[in-house]
Amino acid sequence: MVGYPESLTDPSYQGQILTLTQPMVGNYGVPDRKKLDEFGLPAFFESNRIHVAALLVQDYSHHYSHWNAVCSLGEWLKEEGVPALCDIDTRMLTKKIREKGAMLGRIEVDLSAPAPDFAKIESPNLRHLVGEVSIKEPKVYGKGNGTKIIAVDCGMKYNIIRQLVRRGCELTVVPWDYPFAAEMDKYDGLFLSNGPGNPVMCQTTIKELEKVINCPDDKVKPIYGICLGNQLVGLAAGGQAKKLPFGNRGQNQPVINHQTKECYITPQNHGFHIDCASLKPGWKTLFTNANDGSNEGIAHESRPYFSAQFHPEAASGPSDTEFMFDTFLEACKKPTAKITFPVRKPAPPRPEVKKVLLLGSGGTSIGQAGEFDYSGGQAIKVS
């Protein structure tokens, strides 16, 4: 029910029409775009502008109410010139995507217009979307901090910068085609960001990454990639990038950690994944999606190289896997140590319960969706 300010400004959505399946959208408005955090970044967003090509929602709330809001969602979209439609059966549209896979889309405002010829519509996947969203010149955040990280910006979300700098990093963000391999001696680790489109188009990044991965033993520096960064690591390690039918997106994707055997609930936004069958010797699968079995991350067996297809930095959550930033920075301090992940504390013992009081749903209807009926919860609050 939350997160559209973050999703709309996520560079990974560059060139895409975004459909939200939450029935009611816009009820909490939009935060102040001018407010900056301690790093000089927009405090409530993932980049400095909206990246989606258009937005589709079912029920649009024309009246917003939130202590942090300064305008409506519609006003923000209009300000940035982004078209949007409401009163769309987004769940039916989602079912079509589930059946047919990701499709090209077009918004028509003329109801009498003939059906468009989609064979002549340019696919955003044919554009170099990473080149469109990547930073143009290197920029440093957290200057003077102890751990020096170089980050390749393929469409980096601002919360990644926040996560790393708050943990004591001096983060040097460079363009996607920057010759970073020649400068690794200046840094303690290498980070590869998320981003839009087909990872195969980032050949310059992949070739630079191959140089870093195959360096001599005494030159090894930890490598950590997220989302597109995972795919780039996989390609540099010999894997193949394959397009998923409709991608894995949303805030509740289950992922299995093969090292700890634990399952995490993760937020995701990707249309490609890495086929690990062709990975070079020395590499292994680290994470797997529990729904469709697709790869969610790989790791080197002896060197401190690892990646995640999901988003540990997610704003507005869930944040179950934020510990991966700590794992990466710990590796930067001890590059010869084996990569290990924390194991959760065991669950408390189940209490012995003899009777249960069940409060059923009442007359409240929220967003015309039964799963958002909070009558029982409200009854508990007032009792």
Q: Is residue 377 part of a domain?
A: no
Is the domain of 158 the same as that of 96? Answer: no
Contacts of 61 (CB under 8 A, 6+ apart): 24, 25, 26, 27, 73
Q: What is the pLDDT along the chain (383 residues), one digit of tens a residue?
A: 468 999 999 999 999 999 998 888 999 999 999 999 999 999 999 999 999 999 999 999 999 999 999 999 999 999 999 999 999 999 999 899 888 888 888 888 888 888 888 788 888 888 999 999 999 999 999 999 999 999 999 999 999 999 999 999 999 999 999 999 999 999 999 999 999 999 999 999 999 999 999 999 999 999 999 999 999 999 999 999 999 988 888 888 999 999 999 999 999 999 999 999 999 999 999 999 999 999 999 999 999 999 999 999 988 778 889 999 999 999 999 988 888 888 888 878 888 898 988 776 555 444 444 444 445 555 555 44
Residue at 118 is within a domain: yes
What is the β-pairing status of strands 69-71 and 17-19? Answer: unpaired
Same domain, 48 and 66: yes
| Domain assignment present for 348 | no
Domain annotation covers residue 237 = yes
How many residues belong to the chain? 383
- Residue 346: beta bridge partners? none
- Give the pLDDT of residue 346: 82
Q: Could you tell me if residue 363 is inside a domain?
A: no
Cβ neighbours of residue 95 under 8 Å, at least 6 residues apart? none
State the residue for tokens 């969610």: 296
* Residues annotated as part of the active site: 227
| Co-location of 103 and 116 in the same domain | yes
Query: What's the token pair of residue 152?
Result: 């390749």
- Tell me the CATH number at 119: 3.50.30.20
Please give the Cα distance from 226 to 334 (Å, whole number). Answer: 21
**Domain-located, residue 362:** no
Residue from 3, 15, 20 nearest 196 by CA: 15
On the CB side of 59, how many CA atoms lie within 13 Å of its CA?
12
Closest CA to 333 of 137, 146, 151, 115: 146
Q: How many domains does the chain have?
A: 2
Shared domain for 237 and 270, answered yes or no, is: yes
State the pLDDT at residue 360. 67
Domain that holds residue 98: 4-124
C-alpha distances in Å from residue 312, one per residue of 5, 111, 322, 326, 360: 18, 43, 5, 11, 35
pTM to 2 decimal places: 0.88
Give the pLDDT of residue 367: 47
Residues 198, 116 share a domain:
no
Q: What is the pLDDT of residue 377?
A: 52
Q: Is 361 among the domain residues?
A: no
One domain for residues 120 and 133: no
Distances (CA, A) of 340 to 13, 62, 258, 304: 32, 48, 11, 10
Look up residue 278 and give its two tokens.
């062709």
